[in-house]
Structure 1
Amino acid sequence: MKQTFTVAALISGLLFAAGAGAQEQTVRIGHVGPITGPDAHMGKDNENGARMAVEELNTKGLTLAGKKIRFQLQAEDDAADPKQATAAATKLVDARVSAVIGHLNSGTTIPASKIYSDAGIPQVSPSATNPKYTQQGFKTAFRVVANDAQLGNVLGQYAVKTLGAKNIAIIDDRTAYGQGVAEEFAKGVKAAGGKVVANQYTNNKATDFNAILTAIKSRKPDVVFFGGMDAVGGPMLRQMKQLGITSKFMGGDGICTGSLPGLAGAGLGEEQVVCAEAGGVPESEKKGMDDFRAAYKKRYGIDVVYNAAYAYDATLAVAAAMQKADSWEPAKYLPELAKINYKGITGNIAFDGKGDLKDGALTLYTYKGGKRTLLAVTK
């Protein structure tokens, strides 16, 4: 059958199509972490978590302020370097992102936070734990994990009270994260009645630790604590084994990864390593995390390395605040983010007046048979 079109109908159709197109709004969410350098496996892991959240949001067809929203992740690399971090932050501000998930490291998160604050853009870190990040007074700074004061204190108390350590050696990599968690660990040790018998320092790109480990060995410590990341902690464990140091090896979430066994090799030992992750869910809520890990592996073909679930939750919490405010504009939804009460797979997300996570959980792990094994979830 032959179809006929009137001019009026054609114009009406064109106007409808134009109107429909105008109703879609792209909302950019920034993510920054190290995609190159020794921490790249962690940075990519966080980015993957944020990307999963964005993809999920786009399947829901959300509407804000009468417009259909399409979220877009703009990912930047800071290589765990403060200068690159501020450059990446400036780039995201210029791109007019509505929020930033990141950065990974405290040493990059802190300098970048002022740039986001000046621009009024909310920043939610899924992994930066140095207390200084949220002590600057920026209303735009948030984190979805416990901070080093909590983590370091728990580890210090555990070393003395549970492991029975009396003499403890501390090494840190002089980064904002490594030095910060080591200082908080030392406070926990002293509060529990333990003694720090050695303090040594390295850097986050070092590979040779023989000099500092030899100096530590002479002090016969029960525990060696390392403030730093797994890319350094793994080789350090290898060299401890070569030098015959059998002390327990402790660290924060920087070493508490699925990658540590491969990096440490035979130096990993059996239940020699005890570490804490800033986050964790009790057994009763474990299914959500297990489901996320399965979905992550299906999406990327690899296991979760680090804090991907926290980046995922951070992204969804931001989107929830936008929905409450019915706006993607930072100035409008920021007040809703500050008072958010969002049930995520990593636990409940709500912030105190500084932007720290309320009642942040910590998870203690060891390694058995080359695999990370749960010890306890605590607060």
Structure 2
Amino acid sequence: MKQAPKKSSAALCATLLAPLALAAASFAAQAQEVVKIGFTGPLSGGQAAYGVDNRDGLLLAVKELNAKGVQVAGKKVTFEVVAQDDGADPRQGVAVAQVLADAKVHYVVGPYNSGVAIPAGRVYNEAGMLMLTVASNPKVTQLGYPRLFRVGVNDAQVGIAMAAYAAKDMKAKNVAVIDDRTAYGQGLVAEFMAEAKRQGMNVVKQEFTTDKATDFTSILTSIRSAKPDAVFYGGYSSQAGPMLRQMVSLGINAKLLGGDGICTTETSRLSGNVADGNVLCTQAGVILGQADAGRAFAAKYKAAYNRDPLTYAVSFYDAAMLLADAMQKTGSTDPGKLSEFLAKGAYQGVAGEYSFTDKHDLKSSPVSVYGFKGGQPQAVASL
């Protein structure tokens, strides 16, 4: 009978070490923690361009964090985005919030819309989740939820800045206002009107529409008769673009003003490319092109997605980086501990410094005024 060939010492060593290697691999897998970050925003419907822009800003940050390798209390952390489409609809937003809560996701970046953030915030709060949102209506942080933070500007800052610019720089005397009846639009118009009156301007017409409307002929005809120097719209590009096109066709010479909701290329595209010289808008944060960090972010974003970032991609990017920074500094992924840290700490992001008031609004949020040139928002002034 032939004897089995003797194993070489190298083969024998490999045989003995194989179980150890498997055990080490198993231990390494156990030592890694997957941190799921929920995303909620309008990935479908008229505001889908914003939702996709925001989601991709978050994904860009997560890709960078995972490539760099983040450790929390000596354990490697891998980040994963769980993206949900809330359709800019309050009911859908609440349903999405429940899905994320049931999936034991502990953090959410969003919602984008105030009308979604207010009712969905209750679900996130009851689930003990940490919520970072750019929703701008003041009521969002007035809810008093301890784990809710606003990482963008609020309506008061945006509306006040636009009214002050209209009075001081445009020398406007008479203004008309329109809101889309969303929490965002109504809040923005309320702040603009209050500051306009403080600045000595007259609000000669106040009209409203919806965030689904496409025909504004009736309200614009009414506004035309009042001969305003400017028309302030509280709403989003999906309505602002067609509204501007109809203003031009009706011979209304007033400029269209608005907040961050219309500060995008979508406004120009949907207007039939007549935004140049006809639109002014305000939005939070530094002007990306005027700071090294901003230019670097814009370049990375365009390289990744072959398009320029819109209004809040940078805020969603910063939100992920803010979370990762807090985890590393606290040595914890517990949303309660992170919330306590964020409430007292400060983080320097691309869009500015993230330090919060007692209500969890940003302590300092610069606001910039934009016009349009070649269909693109172009910085006019920082206020």
Task: Name the TM-score class by shorter chain.
Answer: over 0.9
How far 1:6 moved relative to its partner? 8.0
User: How does the TM-score come out when normalised to structure 2?
Assistant: 0.94
**Counterpart of 2:3?**
none
Match status 1:77 vs 2:85? yes
Q: Which residue of 1 aligns with 2:331?
A: 326
Equivalence for 2:125: 117
Does the alignment pair 1:178 with 2:219? no
* 1:27-63 residue CA offsets vs partner (Å, 9 max, x unmatched): 1001110000000000000000000111111012212
Q: Which residue of 2 aligns with 1:291?
A: 296
Matched, 1:300 2:305: yes
Separation (CA, whole Å) in 1 of partners of 2:272 and 2:60: 31
Q: Which runs of 5 or more residues in structure 1 are unaligned? A: none
Question: Which residue of the partner structure matches residue 235 of structure 1?
Answer: 242
- Identity over the aligned pairs, expressed in percent? 44
Aligned to 1:211: 218
Matched to 2:32, the amino acid is: E
One of 26, 29, 32 as aligned partner of 1:18:
26
Measure the CA separation in 2 of the matches of 1:367 and 1:175: 25
SS in 2 for 1:374: strand
- Distance across 2 between alignment mates of 1:102 and 1:171: 26
Shift of 1:289: 0.9
Task: Describe the shift of the 1:6–1:171 C-alpha distance in structure 2 as closer, same or farther (beyond 3 A).
Answer: closer
CA contact (8 A) 1:281 1:361 kept: no
Match of 1:226 among 227, 233, 242: 233
Q: Which residue of 2 aligns with 1:153?
A: 160
| Corresponding position of 1:130 | 137
Q: Is the 8 A contact 1:171 1:226 kept in 2?
A: yes
- Of 307-316 and 111-120, more deviation after overlay is shown by 111-120
Identify the residue that residue 338 of structure 1 maps to in structure 2. Answer: 343
Partner of 1:272: 278
Superposition map of 1:23-102 within 5 A: 23-102=31-110
Out of 336, 356, 361, the residue aligned to residue 361 of structure 2 is 356
Distance 1:87 1:237, change over 3 A: same
SS of structure 1 residue aligned to 2:226 = coil
Alignment-mate amino acid for residue 277 of structure 2: E
Gaps of 5+ in 2: 1-7
The residue type equivalent to 1:294 in the other structure is A
Q: Match of 1:30, SS? A: strand
Task: Specify the code of the residue in structure 2 equivalent to 1:333.
Answer: L
- 1:200 has 2:207 as partner: yes
- In the alignment, which residue of structure 1 is the partner of 2:251? 244
Q: 1:344: Cα distance to partner?
A: 0.8
Tell me if the contact between 1:324 and 1:333 (Cα under 8 Å) persists in the aligned partners.
no
Moved more, 47-56 or 9-18: 9-18
Q: Measure, in 2, the Cα distance between the counterparts of 1:215 and 1:77.
A: 37
Whole-Å separation in 2 of the counterparts to 1:119 and 1:371: 41
Query: Over aligned residues, Cα RMSD in angstroms?
Result: 1.6
CA offsets, 1:117-145, max 9 Å, x none?
A: 111211111x3111110011111111122
- How many correspondences in the alignment? 375
Q: 1:332, CA displacement in angstroms?
A: 2.5
Q: One-letter code of the match for 1:101?
A: V
The Cα shift of 1:83 comes to 0.5
Q: Find the residue that maps to 1:254 and give its secondary structure.
A: helix
Compared with structure 1, are the counterparts of its residues 350 and 281 closer, same or farther at alpha carbon in structure 2 (3 Å cutoff)? farther
